[in-house]
Amino acid sequence: MSAKVVLAYSGGLDTSVAIKWIAEKYGMDVITLTVDVGNERDFTAIQQKALKVGAIKSLVRDAKATYVNDYVFPALQADAVYEGRYPLATALTRPLIAKLLVEVARQEGAAAVAHGCTGKGNDQVRLDVGVMALAPDLKIIAPAREWGMTREETINYAKRHSIPVPVTVSSPYSIDESLWGKSIECGVLEDPWVEPPEEPFTWTRSPAKAPNTPAYVEIGFEKGIPVTVNGRKMGGVSLLRRLNELAGRHGVGRIDHLEDRLVGIKSREIYEAPAAVVLLQAHQALQGMTLSKAQLRFKQQVATEYADLTYNGLWFSALREDLAAYVASTQRFVTGTVRLKLFKGSCNVVGRRSPFSLYSYSLATYDKGDQFDQSASPGFIQLWGLPVKIQAQIQKTESAGNRLSTRLSF
């Protein structure tokens, strides 16, 4: 009996070739695992293809709810956005895929797991480190990183072994999809000066062709988790689908990012993430109303760190877990409703309300009913400005050398 390996299988050319290549090179029995994270594929056809190409077993796992509840929503609560632009859809799927690879490997008594990532991207790091964190004993095989074949050689290898070459191979774009967003790479996009053509966009209408009347949408949150759309209670998966559809129709969610990969290169990435763009904005607006100034400031630093950890394949690290605990604590009062306006590619918050709002009308108003005690301000300013005043008195004089040093430094 040969040793078994569980291969993360997309049904595409590389992972199909990998089934044969692993069997030939390592003499192992390949079990494929396809993970459904909301990428709308024909999973039965993918399963059959794996068996046809030579897998001894072919599994599909519906991980949509787990993906949304255990990966996407915690990242939303953290406001995790990489380099201020990328909502991390792909980066959040990889630790989940690593976890499922390990689970299946254990069930099947496999000695190794495998994936189709190349040696140039972030996904190899995320999958490898995920597996290292959860099952340090498992061997990891990455055929596309090892075989050194060009695209053409891979296609020829497929033809030699009667592996069906999908027509999509002729598409110049490399695409990855999950409920939190779609990424588009390669082709003309590799020239950062070239405006992305309409063609690869499938989740969003061009803003120019979006409806001429704006749409309003109300998102209800409970403890930082979105739970209603326009007053209707929805599970996470349906809620993301609904918002992707609604915001996409209004041209919201296109992102053009010149991104810094973990492996040291810059790459031009196009994303479509309508639901993510709406929810991240809504969530931040609600936090603006329910968190203190100090919490908001500190949380921003945590958000950057959290996004980097996620991007860099460190989801299962102790630090990411520590930060998640902090983030969860910050969300205790992030409950309420945010109203947004979607119009020709733009998404703006136009209203927010919460039972835990820290906004006080009677303190903020300039109209009648003002309860702010203006007579308290002069005393406050006396003490607030005291260190500035003292320093000015002592050091901003000619005898203290102030003038001279200013002149010298220019």
Q: Which residues are catalytic?
A: 14, 94, 123, 174
What gap in Å lies between CA 288 and CA 305, rounded to an integer?
20
With the C-alpha atoms ordered 279, 283, 284, 286, is the resulting torsion angle positive or negative?
positive
How many amino acids of this chain bind ligand ARG (CB under 6 A)? 10
| Spatial contact of 115 and 142, defined as CB atoms under 8 Å apart | yes
C-beta closer to ligand ARG: residue 90 or 154: 90
Distance of CA 362 to the CA centre of its chain: 39
122 binds ligand ARG (CB under 6 A): yes
Per-residue binding string, ligand ARG, 228-267, x by CB under 6 A, is -------------------------------x--------
What gap in Å lies between CA 222 and CA 292, rounded to an integer?
18
Binding residue (CB under 6 A) for ligand ARG from 90, 154, 312, 330: 90
Q: Measured from the CB of residue 174, what is the shortest distance to ligand ARG in angstroms?
A: 5
14 binds ligand ARG (CB under 6 A): no
Binding residue (CB under 6 A) for ligand ARG from 183, 312, 330, 335: 183
128 binds ligand ARG (CB under 6 A): no
269 binds ligand ARG (CB under 6 A): yes
Amino acid identity of 76?
Answer: L
Residue among 225, 246, 245 nearest 341 (CA): 246
Q: Measured from the CB of residue 162, what is the shortest distance to ligand ARG in angstroms?
A: 26
91 binds ligand ARG (CB under 6 A): yes
| Spatial contact of 165 and 180, defined as CB atoms under 8 Å apart | no
Q: Measured from the CB of residue 109, what is the shortest distance to ligand ARG in angstroms?
A: 29
What gap in Å lies between CA 39 and CA 189, rounded to an integer?
22
End-to-end CA distance of the chain: 79
Per-residue binding string, ligand ARG, 41-80, x by CB under 6 A, is ----------------------------------------
**CB proximity list for 31: less than 8 A, separation 6 or greater:** 4, 5, 6, 7, 55, 56, 57, 58, 59, 104, 108, 110
C-beta closer to ligand ARG: residue 47 or 90: 90
C-beta closer to ligand ARG: residue 88 or 246: 88
C-beta closer to ligand ARG: residue 183 or 287: 183
What gap in Å lies between CA 215 and CA 245, rounded to an integer?
12
Q: Measured from the CB of residue 122, what is the shortest distance to ligand ARG in angstroms?
A: 4
What gap in Å lies between CA 404 and CA 341, rounded to an integer?
56
C-beta closer to ligand ARG: residue 115 or 352: 115
Q: Measured from the CB of residue 82, what is the shortest distance to ligand ARG in angstroms?
A: 8
C-beta closer to ligand ARG: residue 49 or 126: 126
123 binds ligand ARG (CB under 6 A): yes
What gap in Å lies between CA 93 and CA 391, rounded to an integer?
54
34 binds ligand ARG (CB under 6 A): no
User: Torsion angle of alpha carbons 20, 21, 25, 28, nearest 10°?
Assistant: -50
DSSP-assigned states of every residue in 258-279? EEE-TTS-EEEEEEE-HHHHHH
Tokens 């906004």 correspond to what residue? 359
Q: Measured from the CB of residue 219, what is the shortest distance to ligand ARG in angstroms?
A: 25
Q: Measured from the CB of residue 232, what is the shortest distance to ligand ARG in angstroms?
A: 32
177 binds ligand ARG (CB under 6 A): no
The residues binding ligand ARG (CB under 6 A) are 90-91, 122-123, 174, 176, 183, 185, 259, 269
